[in-house]
Amino acid sequence: MSVLAPPLEELLDGQVVGVMATESGDGRPRQSVVYYAREGDRLLVSSVAGRAKVRDVERNGWASLCVMSPRPPFPSATFSGAAGVLTEQIGPATAAVAQHVMGAAEPPEAQSEEALAAAGRVIVAISIERVSAATHLDQLRSG
Amino acid sequence: MSVLAPPLEELLDGQVVGVMATESGDGRPRQSVVYYAREGDRLLVSSVAGRAKVRDVERNGWASLCVMSPRPPFPSATFSGAAGVLTEQIGPATAAVAQHVMGAAEPPEAQSEEALAAAGRVIVAISIERVSAATHLDQLRSG
The residues spanned by each domain of chain B are: 6-138
- For chain A, how big is the Rg over CA atoms in Å? 15
Chain A residues near any Cβ of chain B (below 8 Å): 17, 19, 21-23, 27-33, 60, 62, 64, 66, 68, 70, 74, 76, 78, 80, 132-133, 135
Chain A residue numbers with beta carbons less than 8 Å from the beta carbon of B60 are 27
For A19, the closest of B30, B66, B80 (CB atoms) is B66
Nearest to A119 by CA among A33, A51, A21, A25: A51
Query: Looking at residue B10, what is its pLDDT?
Result: 96
Superfamily of domain B6-138: Electron Transport, Fmn-binding Protein; Chain A (2.30.110.10)
Query: Looking at residue B3, what is its pLDDT?
Result: 72
For B21, the closest of A21, A70, A132 (CB atoms) is A21
Nearest to B71 by CA among A98, A38, A17, A9: A17
Residue ranges of chain A whose pLDDT lies below 70: 1-2, 142-143
A138/chain B closest Cα distance in angstroms? 16
CB B60 within 8 A of CB B67: no
CB A124 within 8 A of CB A83: yes
Query: Looking at residue B99, what is its pLDDT?
Result: 92
Task: For A17, name the nearest residue in chain B, comparing CA atoms only.
Answer: B74
Nearest to A126 by CA among A88, A74, A78: A78
CB A76 within 8 A of CB A67: yes
Regarding an ipTM greater than 0.90, the answer is: yes
Task: For residue B65, give the 3-state DSSP assignment.
Answer: strand
Residue ranges of chain B whose pLDDT lies below 50: 1, 142-143
For B23, the closest of A29, A66, A80 (CB atoms) is A29
Identify the CATH class of A6-139: mainly beta
Name A5's Cβ contacts closer than 8 Å, sequence gap at least 6: none
* pTM, entire model: 0.94
